[in-house]
Amino acid sequence: MKTTISFSAPAEVETESLVAVVLDHAEPVANEKEKDKKPELKVASADPAVQSAAAGLLASGEVTGKAFETNLLHKPPGLQAKRLLLVSGGSAKKFSSYDLRRIAGTAVRTLKTRAMRSFAFVAPLGIPAEEAVRAIVEGACVGNFEPDYYRSDRKDQKIDDLTIVVAAGDEVRLSKAAEESQIVGESQNFTRDLVNEPSNRMTPTILGERAKKMSTEVGLKCEVYGADKIKELKMGAFWSVAQGSDEPPALIVMKYEPASAPEKPVLGLVGKGITFDTGGISIKPADGMEKMKSDMAGGATMIGAMRAIALLKPKVKVIGIVCATENMPSGKAQKPGDVQVAMSGKTIEIINTDAEGRLVLADGLYYARQLGCTHLVDAATLTGAVVVALGHHIAGVFTNDDLLYERFRSANAKAGEKMWRMPLDDEYKEQIRSSIADIVNSGGRWGGAITAAMFLKEFAEETPWIHLDIAGTAWLDEQKPWIAKGPSGIALRSVVEFVKGFAQ
């Protein structure tokens, strides 16, 4: 997708379709009695020609103003554009760049299926121009992605050209914002492509090859190690999962070390790369197991994040590590009761072979520290329990460092992704105590997302660390107006923004 910034009056822009946001300026409904109250709809543009082109429709009573409602006008009077698409954004009072991202995605998905390949989006009043440009470009990229890769009738409809019409601003800055957001949006789609692939087409080896190819393209150092190196490094926890599969595992290490960056900090991005999670000997039920092809989403997030970082060039060192393997039952698979020795030397009693993500991450986090990482972030589709706690809309954040959390929280807010901090507390350690080894790999049912994070904390130890449990948010079971169903690419934008924050 090509993006252009335009300072023309919206009415003068020649385009397949002009897109404008409609906002409801009525006071939010306070009680039942008011629920029939009429919306007060206005186009969020100062251009009188756009307002008057929309006036008839907005006055007709046909438009509710509810978020993501779309109305397409042909040959809008007084506009150079062939069409005017009005996308409702809900209440004007609550409207933010978070909503704007989704509105831009909705516009893309509405127009591309109507055979349009380009459009011009009028940046709405009320949001600072640079913030608006970022939200529109990111949202448009997200909306442009389709997962129907293997359908013979795949239409491959895409928006190729996006013009963003802004009232005023510094052209150089706004163009740079558009360019950077496009890098981020395209990296998010790169991640989604990896997650979308089925496990027969996204083995650990293939994931490693994709990381290598991407690294060559963007100028990252990348090593992909196999079973020998994993054993040589004494990654007993990672290997315990890998040993059961005929597919060889891959330890993917990507390094971004710009000459201009200081020695420290070194940020470590660690991802869970289970290319298929059957559960192993503690096998999962058949229902819904196909979704476990997405159990490498955390790893794909970190590979995509490294891509974005290499292209954005922040002045900070970053190492990306992905522990990729299948989790399979077989004659070679580990069994409940087995005791494994992690790279750190800690011994782990395997209670449940389906709690495999924390095993590969235990060694991934420890290895990152060995490589000199001073701060860690991991992303993983780690627990069903986080889905019980937070559902499918909000990802869980865990940390051992309040200051680091503050940095992450502000990056996360800027990136416009929904996440919520969950607690860690030493009382939960009881649940992962073993009578035969240092620790068990499953804390049982209650507080399952927390005990999983407590397990990881044993390997992050004193290193400041953020853990993102994206089990409920990495895969969308239903499409939304702004995004296709399938892989969401959650967490990439927050991680990239977080890394950028260290470069300032």
What does 271 interact with, of ligand BES, Zn ion, Mn ion, none (CB < 5 to 8 A by kind)? none
Closer CB to ligand BES, residue 6 or residue 383?
383
Q: How far is the CB of 468 from ligand BES (least distance, A)?
A: 13
Distance (Å, whole) CA 106 – CA 113: 11
Asked if residue 348 binds ligand BES (CB under 6 A), the reply is no
Residues in region 346-365 near Zn ion by CB under 5 A: 357
Return the range that interacts with ligand BES (CB under 6 A); candidates 81-89, 159-167, 355-363, 423-431. Answer: 355-363
What does 383 interact with, of Mn ion, Zn ion, ligand BES, none (CB < 5 to 8 A by kind)? ligand BES
Of the candidates 322, 319, 362, 371, the residue with the CA atom closest to the CA atom of residue 343: 362
Looking at 145-274, list the stretches that DSSP marks H as alpha helix, in order from N- to C-terminal side.
171-196, 204-218, 227-232, 236-242
Quote the distance between the C-alpha of residue 443 and its chain's center.
27
Closer CB to Mn ion, residue 6 or residue 325?
325
Q: What is the distance between the terminal CA atoms of the chain, rounded to a whole angstrom?
A: 29
Q: Which of 24, 247, 277, 469 binds Mn ion (CB under 5 A)?
A: 277
DSSP state of 129: H
Residue 339's CB is within 10 A of a number of other CB atoms, namely 16
Q: Which of 193, 354, 363, 417 binds Mn ion (CB under 5 A)?
A: 354
DSSP-derived pairing of the beta strands 375-380 and 465-469: parallel
Angle (CA) 27 416 146, round 5°: 110
Q: Which residue is nearest to ligand BES (CB)?
A: 384
Distance (Å, whole) CA 503 – CA 263: 12
Q: Which of 354, 363, 378, 458 binds ligand BES (CB under 6 A)?
A: 354
Q: Which two tokens stand for residue 57?
A: 């429709």
Asked if residue 24 binds Zn ion (CB under 5 A), the reply is no
Residues in region 62-91 near Mn ion by CB under 5 A: none
Q: Which of 193, 277, 458, 497 binds Zn ion (CB under 5 A)?
A: 277
Q: Which residues are catalytic?
A: 284, 358
Contact letters for ligand BES, residues 454-483 (x by CB under 6 A): -----------------x------------
What does 385 interact with, of Mn ion, ligand BES, Zn ion, none (CB < 5 to 8 A by kind)? ligand BES
What does 417 interact with, of ligand BES, Mn ion, Zn ion, none (CB < 5 to 8 A by kind)? none
What does 387 interact with, of ligand BES, Mn ion, Zn ion, none (CB < 5 to 8 A by kind)? ligand BES
Q: Which residue is nearest to Mn ion (CB)?
A: 354
* 454 membership: H or E segment, kind and range: helix 448-460
Closer CB to ligand BES, residue 229 or residue 429?
429
Q: Which amino acid is at 382?
A: L
Looking at 371-444, list the stretches that DSSP marks H as alpha helix, in order from N- to C-terminal side.
384-390, 402-415
Query: Residue 277 pairs with which residues in a beta bridge?
Result: 327
DSSP per residue over 289-341, as a string? GGGGGGTTHHHHHHHHHHHHHHHH--SSEEEEEEEEEEE--STTS--TT-EEE
What does 384 interact with, of Zn ion, Mn ion, ligand BES, none (CB < 5 to 8 A by kind)? ligand BES
What values do phi and psi take at 212, rounded to 5? -65, -45
Q: How far is the CB of 353 from ligand BES (least distance, A)?
A: 8
Closer CB to Mn ion, residue 112 or residue 272?
272
Q: How far is the CB of 427 from Mn ion (least distance, A)?
A: 25
Closer CB to ligand BES, residue 215 or residue 340?
340
Distance (Å, whole) CA 189 – CA 144: 9
CB 224 within 8 A of CB 251: yes
Q: How far is the CB of 480 from Zn ion (least distance, A)?
A: 25
Q: How far is the CB of 361 from ligand BES (least distance, A)?
A: 11
CB 137 within 8 A of CB 178: yes
Distance (Å, whole) CA 460 – CA 457: 5
Cis peptide before 249 (omega within 30 of 0): no
Closer CB to ligand BES, residue 343 or residue 350?
350
Query: Residue 396 pairs with which residues in a beta bridge?
Result: 420, 469
Distance (Å, whole) CA 72 – CA 66: 15
- 242-272 exposure pattern, b = at least 16 Cβ within 10 A, e = fewer: bbbbebbbbbbbbbbeeeebeeebbbbbbbb
Asked if residue 247 binds Zn ion (CB under 5 A), the reply is no
Asked if residue 245 binds ligand BES (CB under 6 A), the reply is no
Looking at 82-201, list the stretches that DSSP marks H as alpha helix, in order from N- to C-terminal side.
97-112, 129-144, 171-196
Residues in region 371-410 near ligand BES by CB under 6 A: 381-385, 387
What does 471 interact with, of Mn ion, Zn ion, ligand BES, none (CB < 5 to 8 A by kind)? ligand BES
Q: How far is the CB of 246 from Mn ion (least distance, A)?
A: 18
Which residues bind to Zn ion, rule: CB under 5 A? 274, 277, 295, 357
Which residues bind to Mn ion, rule: CB under 5 A? 277, 354, 356
Which residues bind to ligand BES, rule: CB under 6 A? 277, 295, 352, 354-357, 381-385, 387, 442, 448, 471
